[in-house]
Amino acid sequence: MKSSTLETMRSLIYEALREVYDPELGVNVVDLGLVYNIDITEDGFVTITMTLTTPGCPMHESLAEGVGAALGDIPGLIGGEIRLVWNPLWSPERMTEEGKRQLGFL
């Protein structure tokens, strides 16, 4: 897969993940700053490295299902995985300006 195709796919993934909302906060996972990295292999397998707002978050399953569903319509993806990490820990500083605005930080 060409580098430009991978970048287009990465953009589509970020766009799709903006439709996955933290049910407790009502802000999407991208604007919350929960998505740390998106890796896509040449054959179309995606690995999303992300975190949660707190370890032991009760919404883990719900968010994982939402991410999986969001990726289902992206052409060229053959599969994927979510890597949940705790380092670095999430903090409000990781949020986008839009996320901060939605939660009243701005």
User: Residue 55's pLDDT is what?
Assistant: 83
- The pLDDT tens digits for 30-50 are 999 999 999 999 999 999 999
Q: Are 17 and 35 in contact (CB under 8 A)?
A: yes
Task: Report the C-alpha gap between 38 and 36 in whole angstroms.
Answer: 7
φ/ψ of 55, rounded to 5, equals -60, 140
Q: Which of 23, 11, 5, 80 is nearest to 47 (CA)?
A: 80
**DSSP assignment of 46-73, as one string?**
EEEEE--SSTT-TTHHHHHHHHHHHHTT
User: Residue 47's pLDDT is what?
Assistant: 97
Supply 106's token pair: 């701005």
User: Could you state, in order of their start, the residue ranges of all structural domains in the chain?
Assistant: 3-91
CATH class of the structural domain 3-91: alpha beta
| Torsion on CA atoms 81, 78, 38, 22, rounded to nearest 10 | -60
> What's the full length of the chain, in residues?
106
User: Residue 106's pLDDT is what?
Assistant: 77
Mean pLDDT of 66-77: 91
- The pLDDT tens digits for 2-40 are 777 888 999 999 999 999 999 889 999 999 999 999 999
